Amino acid sequence: MSQLTAEQLELIKQELEAYDSEGDGDGTVTFEEFTAAFAQYVDDDELQRIKDRVDKNNDGKISYQEYLDSKS
């Protein structure tokens, strides 16, 4: 997997914030929100693989930090 640029990271952060329906600014989205945000880009199987890889604490949410941690 290629290294993400600063611009790509910022776009991802903006997407996560845009789909945080709770709007509480906690930097997390539920898996349902994540799916709504990215389903146009990847299929359901890939979304599930992303969730399994990224949601390390299994709380059903993906935080920006969890996402970044998964990239390292």
For residue 8, give both structure tokens.
Answer: 């790509």
Query: What average pLDDT does the chain have?
Result: 80
Mind listing the domains of the chain with CATH numbers? Answer: 26-72 (1.10.238.10)
Average pLDDT estimate for 13-21: 75
For the chain, where are the alpha helices, taking DSSP H only?
A: 6-18, 31-38, 44-54, 64-71
Which among 37, 68, 66 is positioned nearest to 52, based on CA atoms?
66
What is the structure's pLDDT at 58?
A: 92
State the number of CA atoms in the 13 A half-sphere of 43 facing the CB: 1
**What's this model's pTM, rounded to 2 decimal places?**
0.61
pLDDT digits (tens, 9 = 90+) for 24-59: 666 788 888 888 878 888 888 988 888 888 899 999
Q: How far is CA 4 from CA 21, 22, 51, 59, in A?
A: 25, 27, 18, 25
